[in-house]
Structure 1
Amino acid sequence: MKKTGIALGVLLAAGAVCTGGAWYTAGQLEGALQGAISEGNRQLQTSMPGSGLALELVSLERGLFSSTARYRLRLDKPGDEEPAAELRFVDHIEHGPLPLSRLASLRWLPVMATSRVELERNADVEPWFAAAGAAVPLRGTFAIGYGGGVDGQLQLAPLQVVAEGEKLDFSGLDLDLAVGADAKDIRLSGAVERLSLDLQHERGPVRISLNGLSLDSERSRGRSTLYMGESRLALASSEIRLADQPPLLIRDLVQSDSLHEQGERIAASLAYDVGGLSYDGHELGSARLQLSLGNLDMTALRQLSELYTRYAMRLQGEDDFELSAEEETRLRDALLQLLAGQPRLALDEWRVKTASGESRFTLQLDLDRPQQLEASPDALARQLIQRLQASLVVGKPMIRDLLMLQAVFDPQADRAALSQEAEQAAQMAGEMASGLQLARLEGENIVARLDYRDGQVEFNGVSMPVEQFAAQMMGMAALGGDAFGSQPGALQE
């Protein structure tokens, strides 16, 4: 009997705590929603200035254990005579600290509220509902913590649209997200299984399909107020088919980027990879492109970001405007401060690879703050460019592979004749580049290297003043197609 009384007391105490927590949540809910909406609108203005997107709370029906909120997302376009389009959402909110839906799924961690949001039907989104069949096309489930963080899932329903002989087939999107208090941290992870388009073209029907699309992103607002972190967007395969032609297949397409603070500087990188490209089952090759920025002054970059956002917002109401003298001064000072940090811009890797060979190109540009802005363009460029390095490697086997692709696209082509022509073209390219002193031959590679610093250029191992190098390049350009027949000695110093 004593144990039963104790258990009953615990249950009553727990019920009192939950009821009190629910009452507290109900009282705090509207302020929390308005704060989240204000922060969301601020983020929209910052990330997409001039978009005209704005979210607002239309109504809130509060209860003790649950509430219902309605929102409106408006898309206003300044100067557009058409009425603003809008999306309306209904939000079924369960108050914390222990909403029943979380208890049913054995999640015991207290939260302020849970939210089930669904897109409501109206004239603007009726075609979207029709494409989703019986499902609600957009919905989400979220848990709101007492600290202000949000965790949840967003779902886009599968869609099918058929109109005038064209078709869209979308398998749907599942997106997991976690947003910290005041949107300081943002994590996204999502996937789309399939998206296909059947289109009509003057040459016949076209089919484009994407398979295995995934997104992973993790960002945190740094000391610069900009979002630092990494993201990765990957596509397992994409197929393009025109009329009765064989398919073009792209595999393992990946975009990745990184942004990080290093002391008072910011470094960024962006890379694109194509794992494989094939046509009618014949492998064509792969490619990679990687860019980077380094030594970016944190304060200057933040000022430029703020100026860009402000100007983009002004464009919403003004088709044309001029910067004031004060704005021009702020922009110039921010750019000069950025250059004073000696930023580095680099094409770290551009590589194209075929079955037998590959070609690569790299470029690195180190900048500096000019001392005299009123100098001539040549003098200004000398002050601005601290160093420039470039390297180009072209594989003659890759040249042969590229010319042999004609046999892939034209099965009737004479492969023996094409092979001979490809060999001659690769040999001629090497001899022409070497004869004009544009490059050197290193085995099966055509190689060119350039290094500029302090008015001096080292080009393929030969040093000369930048004026002489410029004159030499202009002379080669003037020779044009006749350059190969010229005497190499004419280009000597």
Structure 2
Amino acid sequence: MKKSVVAAGVVVALGVCWMGSAWYTGKQIEPKVADFVSAFNQASKVKSPQMGMTLSYKDFSSGMLSSHFQVVLTFDHGAEASGIKAGQNVAFNVDVDHGPFPLSSLAKGRFGPAMAAMNVSLVNGEITKPLFDAAKGRSPIDANIRASYDKSIATQVVVAPASYSDTKTTFAFDGGEFNLSGDKLSLADVQIDGQLKNIVISQDSNDVKVYSDSMTMTSIGHTADDNIPVGSANIALNNIRVNAKGEDIVQINAMTATTAMALSSDKKHINYTQEYGIKDLTREKQNLGSGKIALLLDNLDPAAIRQLFTDYNMELSKAMVANPALSEDEDAMGELSLKLLQKYIANIQKSEPVIKLPISWKNEKGEMTANLNIAIADPAKATFTPGTLTESVDQNVKTITANVMLPLDVFTYTAKQIKLAEGKDDAAAQKQAEKDVKNATTIGKMMDLISVDDKAAKLDFEYQQGNVVFNGKEMTAEEFMARGGRFLQ
């Protein structure tokens, strides 16, 4: 008897705590939302006034166990480049289940205490209507967010099946799911993983379609000293088939894109990496190998980068508002973008960053590589000789190095696999590959572009302040240009 009374008392006590805590959480929601909206708008005015984004909320209602409101992001000045008119907005419905035990979490088998559980869905409006049309009337995305008392977040984003089209290309998929988690209520400190399923990419201008089993994404990021964002993100299209007129012509195990940002050794600058890769390219059952190309930008000043993008975007927006026809003229837009970059790039040069462009292709015989490295100079500190041929180069560049390494067996094997894919038999493919490689290296030697031994063909180039070392031979820049001029006559 006592046990049952105690058990009943515990149930009642828990119920009272639940209701009381839920009511308290509900009372705290609107002030917190108001604080967030105010902080966002103040930051927007200071950091990106040219964007003119204003956040607001409306239709707030709160009960014992749940609350509801809408969050509205208004583009005061519009965004001509994205086709957004001044005054248009994007709205989200937000439904909150109060803690300490949100009902929606309990329904999903999550019995631990939480501050709140929220569902966020996109509202169908002027800007978002195309997204709803692509998703056949459904909300394109729905987010389920669980906020814990330690301020960590766990978010599940469900993406509806959809087919998005522009004038040339269609991108369709069978839906997907992404999971986000972080230690703070900040998008800068978050981990993301998820996927879209059964991707189809097609163009109206031809009969070629690209199929992929999935597009996967993983990302991890946080803020380092001085609020510098660092981390990495990886996106991959998996098990790709390129189909032409109903037949698969190319298969690729995976196509990958990786972005990484890290602090440099002095902890004041950042190193940025953007890499693209192809894994196991197969054509007509012949594996042609795997390759990658990357862009590395080392020793960048984060403050200068932020200033560049702020000023660049502001002037570009002003120019497009003053002349809306610019958005329809690719040549004019390209010319304007180049002028703006030239105007603000000197500030980036002050940290003397280094640009690296490595390229590689490998197969079962080995790897072929090419590398280009450019060490940028600060024009205010650069050493140069006025009136020389290389004056303008030396004001902006400290050194340039380039090298190419082509192991002959790897080069020959690659050429053979291509011939096999074209339908030649093994013996004929081998003979033709050896002939093609011999012809290429012979021409390269005759033109004095490469050095060749019994193992590899090589090219090496170094430049520094008007002096060149090319394949081991030292010369002036004028002499090097004269060599190149012989082949242009």
**Same fold per TM (> 0.5)?**
yes
**8 Å CA contact retained: 1:18, 1:97:** yes
Aligned amino acid, residue 66 of structure 1: S
Query: Partner of 2:393 in structure 1?
Result: 381
Evaluate the alpha carbon distance shift between residue 148 and residue 461 of structure 1 in structure 2; reply closer, same or farther with a 3 A threshold: same
Q: Secondary structure at the match of 1:317?
A: helix
After TM superposition, the structure 1 stretch with the greater mean CA deviation from structure 2, 375-384 or 209-218, is 375-384
Q: Give, in angstroms, the shift of residue 211 of structure 1.
A: 1.5
- Are residue 177 (structure 1) and residue 180 (structure 2) matched? yes
Q: Give, in angstroms, the shift of residue 81 of structure 1.
A: 9.7
Query: Partner of 1:277 in structure 2?
Result: 281
Which of 399, 403, 421 is equivalent to 1:391? 403
Query: Partner of 1:91 in structure 2?
Result: 94
- Are residue 114 (structure 1) and residue 113 (structure 2) matched? no
Evaluate the alpha carbon distance shift between residue 436 and residue 269 of structure 1 in structure 2; reply closer, same or farther with a 3 A threshold: same
Evaluate the alpha carbon distance shift between residue 89 and residue 225 of structure 1 in structure 2; reply closer, same or farther with a 3 A threshold: same
The 2-side partners of 1:248 and 1:170 are apart by 20
The 1-side partners of 2:471 and 2:53 are apart by 54
Alignment of 1:76-225 (within 5 A): 76-78=78-80, 88-105=91-108, 107-120=110-123, 137-146=140-149, 149-159=152-162, 170-179=173-182, 180-197=184-201, 201=205, 205-225=207-227
The 1-side partners of 2:61 and 2:226 are apart by 40
Q: Give, in angstroms, the shift of residue 207 of structure 1.
A: 2.8
Q: What is the aligned length?
A: 464
Query: Partner of 1:440 in structure 2?
Result: 451
Q: Secondary structure at the match of 2:369?
A: strand
Alignment of 1:58-69 (within 5 A): 58-69=58-69
Evaluate the alpha carbon distance shift between residue 278 and residue 32 of structure 1 in structure 2; reply closer, same or farther with a 3 A threshold: same
The 2-side partners of 1:43 and 1:253 are apart by 38
The 1-side partners of 2:355 and 2:58 are apart by 48
Q: Give, in angstroms, the shift of residue 48 of structure 1.
A: 11
Query: Partner of 1:249 in structure 2?
Result: 251
**8 Å CA contact retained: 2:365, 2:410:** yes
Q: Give, in angstroms, the shift of residue 118 of structure 1.
A: 3.3
Cα distance per residue 1:380-429 (max 9 Å; x no partner): 32243222221112344455455556645643x68766654443332122
**8 Å CA contact retained: 1:301, 1:334:** no
**8 Å CA contact retained: 1:246, 1:279:** no
The 2-side partners of 1:193 and 1:78 are apart by 32
- Are residue 343 (structure 1) and residue 343 (structure 2) matched? no
The 1-side partners of 2:44 and 2:368 are apart by 42
Evaluate the alpha carbon distance shift between residue 59 and residue 478 of structure 1 in structure 2; reply closer, same or farther with a 3 A threshold: same
Which of 456, 461, 465 is equivalent to 2:472? 461
Q: Secondary structure at the match of 1:181?
A: coil
Q: Which has the larger radius of gyration?
A: 1
Query: Partner of 1:371 in structure 2?
Result: 380
Q: Secondary structure at the match of 2:321?
A: coil
Query: Partner of 1:484 in structure 2?
Result: none
Query: Partner of 1:449 in structure 2?
Result: 460
The 2-side partners of 1:47 and 1:193 are apart by 37
Aligned amino acid, residue 117 of structure 1: V
Alignment of 1:213-362 (within 5 A): 213-262=215-264, 263-314=267-318, 317-319=321-323, 335-336=345-346, 338-347=348-357, 349-354=358-363, 358-362=367-371
**8 Å CA contact retained: 2:84, 2:127:** no
The 2-side partners of 1:51 and 1:78 are apart by 11
Query: Partner of 1:23 in structure 2?
Result: 23
Aligned amino acid, residue 405 of structure 2: V
Aligned amino acid, residue 354 of structure 2: R
Cα distance per residue 1:225-252 (max 9 Å; x no partner): 3421111112222111111554211222
The 2-side partners of 1:72 and 1:187 are apart by 26
Aligned amino acid, residue 389 of structure 1: T
Evaluate the alpha carbon distance shift between residue 52 and residue 279 of structure 1 in structure 2; reply closer, same or farther with a 3 A threshold: farther
Gaps of 5+ in 2: 327-339
